[in-house]
């Protein structure tokens, strides 16, 4: 198993074993509301701890899912197809592990098959699993590529992510409209200049 995938699994297992109860989580939200300067007992905030915890269950549901398991079902009846497969503009929302602020963007995921392909919905699901964890964009890009490479064993993998970070656009330096691009290229996408150019050209189309 590739290092990014193994580390992700280990971190998820450790987090699950030490997970606080729902009541403890709601109590923590009440403390944060009070720290912000408001009254957790006023009418408008009475249901907020419950709503925030339910939102956390959605935002961070990726910790409870196994990206390797999602990718296990592959198909070999491809009629000899051996060119690039690319799924573009997969939307995602993640959260920065430094400020817990949203990261909103799109992922482009491609691979060069070696006798096997995978259902395209699985590529989108893998993006979603890693996005729904506290993240930095660089790590997320590498994790998606490593998971696909580990299971599918293609001749090459390419992952490009473009995203806006609210920790930069709505606070701190306050630079709205700025996006960040990261890429991880493995196998032929990294080693073969012609394959890399073809992959990047496909990304630019449309």
Cβ distance 78 to 115 under 8 Å? yes
Alpha carbon distance 94, 133 (integer Å)? 7
DSSP code at position 21 = P
Residues 6 or more apart from 20 whose CB is under 8 A from it?
A: 28
Q: What's phi and psi for 93, nearest 5 deg?
A: -130, 125
Tell me if residue 3 falls in helix, strand or coil.
Answer: helix
Instruction: Return the active site residues.
Output: 96-99, 137, 165, 167
Question: For residue 159, how many other CB atoms are within 10 A of its CB?
Answer: 28
Point out which residues pair with 183 in neighbouring strands.
160
Cβ distance 85 to 162 under 8 Å? no
Question: For residue 122, how many other CB atoms are within 10 A of its CB?
Answer: 19
């Amino acid at each position: 198993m590739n290092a990014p995938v193994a580390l992700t699994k280990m971190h998820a297992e450790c987090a699950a074993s030490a997970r606080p109860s729902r009541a403890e989580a709601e109590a923590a939200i009440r403390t944060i509301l009070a720290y912000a300067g408001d009254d957790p007992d006023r009418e408008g905030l009475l249901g907020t701890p419950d709503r925030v915890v339910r939102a956390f269950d959605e935002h961070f549901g990726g910790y409870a899912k196994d990206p390797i398991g999602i990718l296990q079902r592959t198909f070999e009846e491809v009629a000899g197809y051996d060119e690039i497969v690319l799924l573009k503009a997969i939307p995602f929302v993640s959260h920065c592990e430094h400020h817990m602020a949203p990261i909103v963007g799109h992922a482009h995921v491609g691979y060069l098959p070696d006798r096997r392909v995978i259902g395209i919905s699985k590529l989108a699901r893998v993006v979603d699993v890693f996005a729904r964890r506290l993240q930095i964009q660089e790590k997320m890009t590498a994790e998606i590529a490593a998971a696909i490479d580990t299971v599918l064993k293609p001749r090459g993998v390419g992952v490009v992510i473009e995203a806006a970070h609210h920790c930069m656009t709505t606070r701190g330096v306050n630079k709205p409209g700025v996006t960040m691009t990261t890429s991880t290229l493995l196998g032929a996408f990294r080693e073969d200049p012609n394959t890399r150019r073809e992959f990047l050209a496909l990304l630019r189309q449309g």
